[in-house]
Chain A
Amino acid sequence: MASIPGAFKPAKRSAGAIIGIWLLRLFLIAQAVIVLYPLIWNVLASLKTNQEVLESPWTLPSSLQWGNFVAAFTSARMGDYMLNSVLVVILSMAILLVAAVPTAYVLGRMRFFGRGFLTNLYMAGLFIGGVYIVVPLFIMMNELGMLDNRFWLSAVYAGGILPFSVYLLTGFMKAIPHDYEEAAMIDGCGYFGTLFRIIMPMARPGITTVIIFAFFDFWNEYVLASTLIASDAKKTIPVGLSNLMQIQKFATDWGSLFAGLVIVLVPTVFIYVLLQKRLTQGMMMGGVKG
């Protein structure tokens, strides 16, 4: 392309533009490879024999070792961990919604004594991450007999993401016009009826955004789960995986570890592909624009 003579001026300019675009594209593709290759490698490794994993990270598996997945589910107990994770996600989500939606409604739409204080209190909660308070949390839950219990772990999760959820939902609640409530009240819809039948359907985009964020948060959480749950039968997937990793370091049976990683990745990828657009939009609302 560069050898086109100068007589074709417009063509030459566009040739430069094309080269520029391809350079940009190359730059972006290189980054995409850096992001994706570890994941592709992981999927390939989950279908290889130990010997093949050790030999080279670049080759394809010679035959597909589905046995790795069987081993992950049976001897590595990935199935149990997965069920625990699903249970904890559902419980946490239920607790979170029961707590966050009414709170956000009241803080966002009603005037009462102490509203400003409560709003600020929840805002302050945004800054207190789980790792800071894991020690007193452990001690308190030990005293109250709440350790090694999936329900209380879920409650801790819900409490952890509550400030963020309230913050995000309050914004949505404020945007709903007041006429709707007035009309509902005149029609004899009580306070609770208004909340459940009028407000909740209208705030659905906000609630969905909260659910998506909370899902990734609950599904991936590691620090609290590894501290507050002791018995193997109650562990969630991230904790189970990190245990498996510690064991495999010495046993060098990589297959089931990689299969386990794929098992964790699949629901995440699935939900991501399904909800990608809403997720990035929600992030912009919650993260920056408020």
Chain B
Amino acid sequence: MTMKRRRAVFIAACLLPGLLLFALFKIYPTVQVFHKSFYQWNGIGDKPVFIGLDNFVEMFQDDTFLLALRNTGFLMLIVPIVTIAIALINASILTRSKLKEKSLYRTVFFFPSILSFVVIAILWSFIYHPTIGFLNSGLEFIGLGEYAMSWLGDQRTVLWALAVTLIWQAAGYYMVMYMAGIDGISPDFYEAASLDGATRLQQFMYITVPMLWEIIRITIIFSINGVLSISFVVVSIMTAGGPDRHSEVALTYLYAQAFTNSNFGYAMAMALFIFVISMLLAFLSNRMTGKEAN
């Protein structure tokens, strides 16, 4: 009996610190997001007023929010596809070829994924800088000076410029994941394929990609979620949503609504909406890629 009690006390003591942290800094705020998104709440001292679904209705009449949503959608579409493609190609080159220095490439390519987003955002602001940036001066150097432009200041290029930054940041991370996966594929498959005369490209398309499909599916979801949160830091430092809101993303707009305009209820409704959308996207991509594999 005392043994049993001692065991119960031990279990409780082990779980308590974690549960306290988790409840206070994760569960409670999450519950608040769900709850307060149905309230109008304009500032710390203000009393929240229940307004039902009004926040959600307002969202779809808010042009800036819709633009931010479109920009986010653009990044969520382009960045994962290109990142995963580059990562897959590099991973299969590094695992399937006999280059002596391949571990060096792995070390270098993975490096951006441990850098602070702030550092990355500042560095890339200077790459794109209209006067001192080395993208423009590089273009001039190779005689394409006429294409030099203010990459972050032009609404036609700003999202692409941000997308490149996000891809630069993440490609090495997924590459390492795929390399682990490829290491797990039996070399017999490749041997048999090359005996049958399959080219490297065919081996990539018909062995590597199908065998990695489960990992690819997971990384698509990782990448979609990653874009959502990293774009927040990158946009707030590199463009602040400019020019003229053309690089505003959902989370920067939400943040500004909360902390600049004190529209707490509205901001939480947006958070809930974006959360649900990203969950739906994850579910959808899972369903789509799952069918393709069958």
Contact = CB atoms under 8 A, between A and B. Distances in A.
Interface of A: 21, 24-25, 27-28, 31-32, 34-39, 41-42, 45, 53-54, 56-58, 95, 98-100, 102-103, 105-106, 110, 112, 118, 121-122, 125, 127-140, 142, 155-156, 158-160, 162-163, 166, 190-192, 195, 216, 219-220, 222-223, 227, 237-239, 241-242, 245, 254, 257, 261, 264-265, 268, 272, 276, 279-280, 283-284, 287-289
Nearest to B263: A135
Contacts of A162: 18, 21-22, 26
B193 to A, nearest CB: 17
Given A162-B21, A227-B259, A280-B110, A242 B177 contact: no
Contact of A158 (B21, B229, B254): B21
Contact of B114 (A132, A138, A163, A279): A279
A133 B176 contact: no
Contact of B122 (A99, A118, A160, A245): A245
Interface of B: 6-8, 10-11, 13-15, 17-22, 24-30, 32-33, 36, 44, 90, 93-94, 97-99, 105-112, 114-119, 121-127, 131-134, 137, 141, 168, 172-173, 176-177, 180-181, 215, 218, 222, 225, 228-229, 232-233, 237, 251, 254-255, 258-259, 264, 267-268, 271, 274-275, 279
B46 to A, nearest CB: 11
A133 B229 contact: no
Contact of B251 (A25, A131, A279): A131
B132 A57 contact: yes
A139 B271 CA distance: 15
A251 to B, nearest CB: 14
30 contacts: A24-B93, A32-B105, A32-B108, A45-B126, A54-B132, A99-B17, A103-B15, A112-B8, A127-B225, A129-B228, A132-B33, A133-B26, A135-B254, A135-B259, A136-B30, A138-B259, A140-B29, A155-B21, A155-B25, A159-B21, A162-B26, A219-B116, A220-B114, A223-B233, A227-B259, A272-B111, A272-B114, A287-B222, A288-B215, A289-B180
B25 to A, nearest CB: 3
A268 B114 contact: yes
A170 to B, nearest CB: 12
Contact of A160 (B15, B25, B106, B258): B25
A278 to B, nearest CB: 12
Nearest to A254: B132
A159 B24 contact: yes
A54 B129 CA distance: 11
Nearest to B214: A288
Contacts of B259: 135, 138, 227
A38 B14 contact: no
A28 B97 CA distance: 12
B218 A288 contact: yes
A140 B123 contact: no
Nearest to B184: A289
Given A35-B109, A53-B132, A159-B21, A112 B229 contact: no
Given A28-B93, A238-B116, A280-B106, 7 more contacts: A21-B98, A57-B134, A112-B11, A128-B275, A134-B258, A142-B44, A166-B18
Contact of B271 (A118, A132, A254): A132
